């Protein structure tokens, strides 16, 4: 039976002002929940520096009913790469609602609007749920990143 209200979902760019909130959110889940997602340390100082230093890299918060519920990023531009790396993390209580897939569609649109022709992501070989989302969305396996043991996938975005 539907609830009497509709939860609002919003994706918007986040800045260093969200570092503390994002750190708390990332650290609120059991370690095992984030075992496949290791882009950086989850402490507030690291996240503040990351968001402060971002010039062309993009970080987007996912807000549900006005509260931060996850985020996604398009990184690599600041390091000189033409192909950004996509990464997403959604709080456990919102897992399974299609929110991660929604961020992927958002990321593809952001890239296309900005003339980016290809998107890259890395995923742990045992993260079968994420791999299914990515392959069903047109990502193609490229190679194994021997340094971290993750599989690398690309998606051609066209024009």
Map residue 32 onto helix, strand or coil. helix
- Through-space distance between the first and last CA atoms of the chain, rounded to whole angstroms: 42
Cβ 87 vs Cβ 70: under 8 Å: no
Q: Which residues contact 84 (CB under 8 A, 6 or more apart)?
A: 57, 58, 74, 75, 76, 77, 111, 116, 119, 120
Range of 114's domain?
9-156
- pLDDT of 7: 79
Q: Is residue 2 part of a domain?
A: no
Q: What is the pLDDT of residues 76-111, one digit of tens each?
A: 999 999 999 999 999 999 999 999 999 999 999 999
Phi, psi values for residue 59, rounded to 5°? -125, 125
Report the CATH number that the domain containing residue 107 is assigned in CATH. Answer: 3.40.630.30
Rounded CA-CA distance 53/19 in Å is: 12
How do 150-156 and 118-123 pair as beta strands?
A: antiparallel
- pLDDT of 4: 59
Q: Is residue 4 part of a domain?
A: no
Q: What is the pLDDT of residues 5-52, one digit of tens each?
A: 667 999 999 999 999 999 999 999 988 888 778 788 899 999 999 999
Q: Is residue 3 part of a domain?
A: no
Map residue 134 onto helix, strand or coil. helix
Q: Is residue 151 part of a domain?
A: yes
- pLDDT of 1: 45
Rounded CA-CA distance 132/137 in Å is: 8
- pLDDT of 37: 82
pTM above 0.75?
yes
Q: Is residue 82 part of a domain?
A: yes
Q: What is the pLDDT of residues 63-80, one digit of tens each?
A: 999 999 999 999 999 999
Q: Is residue 29 part of a domain?
A: yes
- pLDDT of 153: 98
Number of domains present in the structure of the chain: 1
Q: Is residue 18 part of a domain?
A: yes
Q: Is residue 108 part of a domain?
A: yes
């Amino acid at each position: 039976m539907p609830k009497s209200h509709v939860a609002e979902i919003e994706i918007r760019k986040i800045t260093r002002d969200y570092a503390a909130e994002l750190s708390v959110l990332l650290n609120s889940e059991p370690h095992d929940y984030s075992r496949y997602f290791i882009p950086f340390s989850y402490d507030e100082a690291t996240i503040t520096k990351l968001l402060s230093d971002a010039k062309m890299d993009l970080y987007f918060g996912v807000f549900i009913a006005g509260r931060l519920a996850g985020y996604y990023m398009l990184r690599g531009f600041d390091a000189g790469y033409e192909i950004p790396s996509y990464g997403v993390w959604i709080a456990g209580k919102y897992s399974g609602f299609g929110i991660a897939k929604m961020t992927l569609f958002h990321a593809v649109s952001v890239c296309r609007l900005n003339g980016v022709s290809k998107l890259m992501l890395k995923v742990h070989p045992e993260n079968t749920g994420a791999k299914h989302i990515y392959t069903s969305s047109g990502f193609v396996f490229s190679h194994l990143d021997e340094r971290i043991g993750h599989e690398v996938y690309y998606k051609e975005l066209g024009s």
